Chain A
Amino acid sequence: MWLRLRNQNKKQVYQYDKVAQEGIYGTIERDLHANIEKVRNITGNSADIVIRRFLLGKEENLSSALCFVSGMVDENMVQQLLIEASVQLSFPSTCCDQLDYIEKKIATANTTRRVKQWNEVFSLLMSGESILFIHGMQEAISIAVKGGEYRAITEPSTQLSIRGPREGFTESLGTNVAMVRRRIQHPHVRVEAITVGEVTHTNVRMMYMKEIADDNIVEEVRSRLQRICMDGVLESGYIEQLIEDETFTTFPTIYHTERPDSVAANLLEGRVAIFVEGTPFVLIAPAVFIQFFQAVEDYYARFDIATALRFLRILVFFISLVAPSLYIAATTFHQEMIPTSLVIAIAAQRESVPFPAFVEAVIMEVTFEILREAGVRLPRTVGQAVSIVGALVIGQAAVEAGFVSSVMVIVVSITAIASFATPSFAIAVSARLIRFLLMVLAALFGFYGILIGLIWMTIHLCSLRSFGVPYMTPLAPLIPTNLRDTFVRFPLWALTDRPHGITEETNIVRQGDEQRPEHNQETRREGDEN
């Protein structure tokens, strides 16, 4: 018995691939019946596997079978295919290679290919193609009639913009890739196909611009993607977690977006996009810190407005980071920092609060997080009820009951709104976590603690890397020309360089000289005089 237990404790090696492939080795047989039996056996006679038997050809009547997964194929195309194959198709019985002839004659689908191996047959069948078995042939024809229902292209729900394209990615990989390609119509847009997930066989596309993207980074992304070996990859979040540089950080080192224009812009800056079948979120790597404060609208709006908004967002990030901890520190350690009349006002409100400031702040912050989480997960109709309960119970009743001071409610609200105003949800979440850490530090050491926390955060940020690119680029290492698109957004004509360190260094300039509008006019006027 001990022996058996010990054997069980022994670490198992991942071998799903082998298990899954077992029994589907071998090639297709000549006998149609045997082939159909094989398909039935392997799929366990699943209800959604359709095997349609029919007679092929106008005159010959070769008995054959079309095999596909219902729902994953375009029903119309299948129908048309059947009509074509059984009614219209005629071929000379004495021809050299009948199979080759049939394959070439089928015009309904874009691509057809001949398959011989069973494992190949099944992987194509599962990916949504139809397999045509013909009696007496040792090969089958796989016909691409992929289709089925997908969500329509709608406005992205997480990254809204007032100005800019309204379309967002969908769950369909092909549509997503096409949306980006439509924006960059250049043959240098490279799309590499990788299949990830030993069971799910998820299609993944890696997209980058040849010549602009740094080859080393592209190779790094490719090798990290190929390293993945697990059952399933259901969302780009799986891949993000498997290929990111640092797991133990609250900061995201890979950017994700729902907007095709954002992907296009990033490709033009030499980044690599990773599309995953079945999710509208596309990953972009390498990502740097400041990228999470750049909204697509920054580039569509004029530079002064964009700059003002960029400042606001960075300010807002800091507010969402430190507001509650500043409150704790100021009211428990540094009462001298608050103006006299304000300290009296705060003291008056805190008079009836039975908790220390830290406990009060934690209670309120946690309550808010609960409310937010509830609001996210609840059906939309119930969501309203949550907000009413939140506003009344937390806002008003708690203050009136004297559990919390109204200053605290103000602090929590400003923090919450600030965190909503952060353009990237990923960075807002990391601020949420650090906020609690800073609150603890503030309760222990006051402003000194907050400062220690922020210094730690800065050091940590500087130590991070995303696919070899320092996370704080272009601030640390300092790249002056790229500073034009950090805290301020210079006019478009001044953004001459693609990001150094990410883009291929030999191809760094992205626009011609004299893009400044006045400049053009001057030269034109001079020309007129001549």
Chain B
Amino acid sequence: MKIKRYPFLIFMLFICTLLFGCWSKKELRDLALIIAVGIDKKDGKYMSTFQVVNPGNVAGATQRGGGSTGLPVALYTSTGDTLVEASRKASKQISRIPYYSHTNLVVIGEELAKEGIQQIFDAVERNPQFRPTANIVIARKQTAKQLLSVLTPIDKIPANQMIKTLELTEMMWGENVDTRLREVIESFSLAGKEVIMSSFYVDGNRKHSDDQNNVRTMEPTARLRAAELAIFKKGKLIGWIGKEEARGVLWILDKIKQTAVTVDWKEEKEAVSYKVVRAKTKVTAQLRNGKPIIFVAVKTEGDIGETFVAIDFTDPKQIVALEKVMQQEIKAEIEKAAHVAQKKKSDIFGFGEVVHRAYPKEWKEMKKTWDDKYFPKLDVQVKVESFIRRTGLRTRSYIQ
């Protein structure tokens, strides 16, 4: 009997595919979708907290009843000498494979941040599942675990609540910055750039924050709230910057998209609100007498949002005068921010990198002593151009 060669070969090839098939197959049912990871340090060991989604209980994900009584997320904690160890040890409690591809939030406890976070990102960067676009926040005055164990009312998954809050407040107000994992890791390898991160804290009574009763009331007893920006230096948390200074940082970083600036008008304090709808910052460096000078040029465009005093907006002179006042206000914010950072000797604005790009040769020398010698004494010249595009639907206010 002669076997036909061609079909036989194909048959053999097909059999081969069955030999190695499916080795990386993971059914959705066997995955623990970790939506957020919290990292703390406890007794010299890393303590990882995993916020795992319970898909059946996420509202809208299932149309059948029964699931609505459960919680949308579950929390698991495990400790280990390294993060990988902690993650693997978590299998003692979780029945499914920890899956990090949808981890969109990394929370770091304040204690750990002060000790230094440089080591923990190696594991994260090495793991192919981890997304470099995951958000990273610091738990203010708390452990990461405490921050992750708060149930939230509207976005049922607390991690989503935090991410969306962060993104929204960066866009609308501009005192918080939405820092991604990639930026943090990048900053470790750059001499002229330090990283800043937003922080969150649990507002209110956090005793029963993880109880479902927390979301049953109109005003939850424990609430997540974005707080100051954390200033890092060499991977260590060295201080906080908040309020107007924080916004000043975002102005320099060109991260302001929209915000509202309130200025004084004549005798009246805090009288006019300027809604910024567009802003652009350019940072350039110049070397004068061997000393670098940084120029920060900000251009803003916006509307008048509110006024408590009678201003005649039909008069261009008034508008120009108002623009001047706004420019001063924004300039003051920026200068304050620069001052704070210089005092902390942490180049969170990346001025060093600007100098690096403009004067690569000179930078080689400055690099070593940039933080201690150059940056704190850096001459930062701020120039703001504000432009009032519209005055809203009214030209003349009813306030006379």
Residues of A within 8 A of B (CB): 331-333, 335-336, 340, 343-351, 353, 356-357, 400, 406, 443-446
> For residue B159, which residue of chain A has the nearest CB?
A340
Q: Quick check: is B15 within 8 A (CB to CB) of the other chain?
A: no
User: Cβ of B60 and Cβ of A332 under 8 Å apart?
Assistant: no
Q: Give the residues in chain A near B157, CB-CB below 8 Å.
A: 344
User: Cβ of A332 and Cβ of B27 under 8 Å apart?
Assistant: yes
Q: Quick check: is B2 within 8 A (CB to CB) of the other chain?
A: no
Interface flags for B58-73 (1: CB within 8 Å of A; 0: not) read 1011111001000000
User: Cβ of B101 and Cβ of A446 under 8 Å apart?
Assistant: no
Q: Give the residues in chain B near A333, CB-CB below 8 Å.
A: 24-26
**Bound complex: CA A446 to CA B31 (Å):** 17
> For residue B100, which residue of chain A has the nearest CB?
A336
> For residue B25, which residue of chain A has the nearest CB?
A332
Q: Is the interface of A mostly helix, strand, loop or mixed?
A: helix
User: Cβ of A340 and Cβ of B27 under 8 Å apart?
Assistant: no
Q: Can you sample 16 A-B contacts with CB below 8 Å?
A: A332-B26, A332-B27, A333-B26, A335-B26, A335-B28, A335-B31, A335-B99, A335-B101, A336-B101, A336-B131, A345-B60, A347-B28, A347-B29, A356-B27, A443-B21, A444-B18
Q: Give the residues in chain A near B28, CB-CB below 8 Å.
A: 331-332, 335, 343, 346-347, 350, 357
Distance in Å: Cβ of A104 to nearest Cβ of chain B: 63
Interface flags for B22-51 (1: CB within 8 Å of A; 0: not) read 101111110101010000000000000000
User: Cβ of A349 and Cβ of B27 under 8 Å apart?
Assistant: no
Distance in Å: Cβ of A343 to nearest Cβ of chain B: 6
User: Cβ of B21 and Cβ of A445 under 8 Å apart?
Assistant: yes
Q: Quick check: is B153 within 8 A (CB to CB) of the other chain?
A: no
Distance in Å: Cβ of B19 to nearest Cβ of chain A: 10
Total CB contacts across the A-B interface at under 8 A: 76
Q: Count chain A CB atoms within 10 A of each CB in B28, B31, B67, B99 and give the residue with the most.
A: B28
**Bound complex: CA A444 to CA B17 (Å):** 8
User: Cβ of B26 and Cβ of A443 under 8 Å apart?
Assistant: no
Distance in Å: Cβ of A442 to nearest Cβ of chain B: 10
Q: Give the residues in chain B near A351, CB-CB below 8 Å.
A: 29, 55-56, 62
User: Cβ of A348 and Cβ of B26 under 8 Å apart?
Assistant: no
Q: Quick check: is B102 within 8 A (CB to CB) of the other chain?
A: yes
Distance in Å: Cβ of A455 to nearest Cβ of chain B: 15
Q: Quick check: is B129 within 8 A (CB to CB) of the other chain?
A: yes
> For residue A444, which residue of chain B has the nearest CB?
B21
Instruction: Give residues of chain B (132-165) contacting chain A, Cβ–Cβ below 8 Å.
Output: 157
User: Cβ of A344 and Cβ of B33 under 8 Å apart?
Assistant: yes
**Bound complex: CA A464 to CA B56 (Å):** 49
**Bound complex: CA A346 to CA B101 (Å):** 15
**Bound complex: CA A340 to CA B102 (Å):** 6
Distance in Å: Cβ of A366 to nearest Cβ of chain B: 20
User: Cβ of B22 and Cβ of A444 under 8 Å apart?
Assistant: yes
> For residue A331, which residue of chain B has the nearest CB?
B28
> For residue B60, which residue of chain A has the nearest CB?
A345
